[in-house]
A and B are shown apart, each in its own frame.
Chain A
Amino acid sequence: MLELIADTASSMHNLGKKLASLLKARDVLYLDGDLGVGKTTLVQGIAQGLNYEGLVTSPTFTIMNIYPTNPEIYHYDFYRLEIEDLDDLGLTDYVEQDGITIIEWPKLDSDLLPEDALIVTISLLDDDYDRARKVVFTAVGERYQPLLEELKD
């Protein structure tokens, strides 16, 4: 586990860029945290880190955005879904492709999603949106532990 503090939206963005340099095809990230903590901001940093110049917007309504980076990014948002909906969406078709899968509002209890993943939990400090964010990285599976070590440096 690794705990970092992002003082501003810009440092969250930079954290995303740093993370991007460590990610590989088929990596899976789960982004957990309340509304407005900076999940999409982190994804914007990751996409920019992979040289994407287009818009990275919240996929809350579209459920999924694809960014044509190398590797591709599949950016999901399960905010509006119930756990039983995952089965119906064909999401696993993409998770098995050669892209990076990033899921906001993941349904971590679902057995349809890969267990091995980097779980990123973002939270407010003292319940105050004006303050910094706490970002906790949890590695599940062999692939992600070394990634945490690299992220520390």
Chain B
Amino acid sequence: MDNIKILGIETSCDETAASIVQDGKEILANIINSQIPIHQQFGGVVPEVASRKHIESIAFVVAEAFKEANLEYADIDAVAVTNRPGLIGALLVGLSFAKAFAYALDKPLIAVNHLYGHIYANFLEYEDIKFPAVCLVVSGGHTSLLLMEDATSYEVIGATLDDAAGEAFDKVARFMGLGYPGGPLVQKAAETGQAGLVTLPRVYLDRDDFNFSFSGLKTATMNLWKKLERQGSQNVNDMAAEFQTALVEVLVAKTIKAANKYQVDNILLAGGVAANSKLRDLMAEEARANKLKLYYPSLKLCTDNAAMIAGVAYHDFVNGRFAPLNLNAYPSQMSLLKRPVDIVDNSVDK
């Protein structure tokens, strides 16, 4: 099917975002109303603020997307919306808006899992991705390794057993007084610090599996930070560098190992932590050494956006996977472990 234009709406966490994507690859508009400055006052994402800001922003952001794409409302073919996982109050703002919009325009509604959107960000930018591939999804709420047979079917081969990588970044950053959001601030501090001057553990768990644990690294970091404080020898930059290196080395080692075990030639990165330059650089280095091809989205598409939602929805559109107007939102990440294959599982309120 050609010239299919889908409006994507994403409100699962910090960002109110709307995008219009044609045929699952051509971004006609991509609007993100970042709420980061508001959250910085609180040292974290504040869902109450998030919900209210989503409500204030959503209509404006959607209108802006149509303006940028130079389209009328009736020009789109479907409305796609993130309905899981995320903060329930935040998800419901996007979901309610999408339902009303789809109903008013008499266009089909498509439910999208936020995680699949992140993975799909790669497909918006590269057309030559070959399968099978291994994808590392790393964000504030998720750390998973997936074996992909094609653009929309995955098997989870590993996941964090406790904290997600992005969560560890945020908590360690707050503990060391760096602020929020933790990822970029730790990366910035690490640039002027040196890894290896202090030593943190690399938690590989069982070396034969693909699961992660970052809670132990978080605790070790805080423990060492307190000890250094007592000795009067804290250096936040060196600590940030060592923490980031310890975390990234494990992500890279497990991803490369998975690629070798499953004999794939392609590696994908996805999620907000895929914006981390240390992760990109080290993964690129190891991919080269192992003759693997590495893909990662541009910075703008790593973090939450709606283009990835509208993109992934194209495949649902061509396969007729539409959602009813009683579609619900689900906060839990339990649903992430398998991609729902049919509409009943994907969208009906159970």
Which residues of A come within 8 Å of B, CB atoms?
35-36, 40-41, 44, 54-55, 57-58, 60-68, 79-82, 84-85, 87-90, 127-130
Contact = CB atoms under 8 A, between A and B. Distances in A.
A35 B214 CA distance: 13
Contact of B48 (A44, A58, A88, A127): A88
Contact of A88 (B47, B162, B219): B47
A129 B223 contact: yes
Interface of B: 13, 42, 44-49, 51-52, 85-89, 139-141, 159-164, 166-167, 170-171, 175, 215, 218-220, 222-223, 226, 331-334, 337
A129 B224 CA distance: 9
27 contacts: A35-B219, A35-B222, A36-B223, A40-B163, A57-B159, A58-B215, A60-B141, A60-B167, A61-B13, A61-B141, A62-B332, A63-B47, A63-B88, A63-B331, A64-B88, A64-B332, A65-B334, A67-B334, A80-B46, A84-B48, A87-B48, A88-B51, A88-B52, A89-B89, A127-B226, A129-B222, A129-B223
A57 B161 contact: yes
A20 B167 CA distance: 27
Contact of A58 (B85, B88, B163, B334): B163
Contacts of A62: 85-87, 141, 331-333
A60 B163 contact: yes
B225 to A, nearest CB: 10
Given A35-B219, A57-B333, A62-B85, 18 more contacts: A36-B215, A36-B223, A57-B162, A60-B167, A60-B170, A62-B86, A62-B141, A62-B331, A62-B332, A63-B87, A65-B334, A66-B334, A80-B47, A81-B46, A82-B46, A89-B88, A89-B89, A127-B226
Contacts of A55: 159-161
Contacts, number: 105
A80 to B, nearest CB: 4
Nearest to B85: A62
B223 A128 contact: yes
A35 B171 contact: yes
The winner among A55, A68, A79, A128 for most chain B CB atoms within 10 A is A55
Contacts of B87: 62-63, 89
Contacts of B223: 36, 128-130
Nearest to B39: A80
Given A58-B162, A90-B89, A82 B332 contact: no
A63 B226 CA distance: 28
B45 to A, nearest CB: 5
Closest 8 CB pairs of A and B: A61-B141, A129-B223, A36-B219, A85-B48, A80-B44, A88-B48, A61-B140, A58-B163
A66 B84 CA distance: 14
A87 B48 CA distance: 8
Nearest to B214: A58
A110 B215 CA distance: 28
A76 to B, nearest CB: 10
A52 B116 CA distance: 26
Contacts of B139: 61
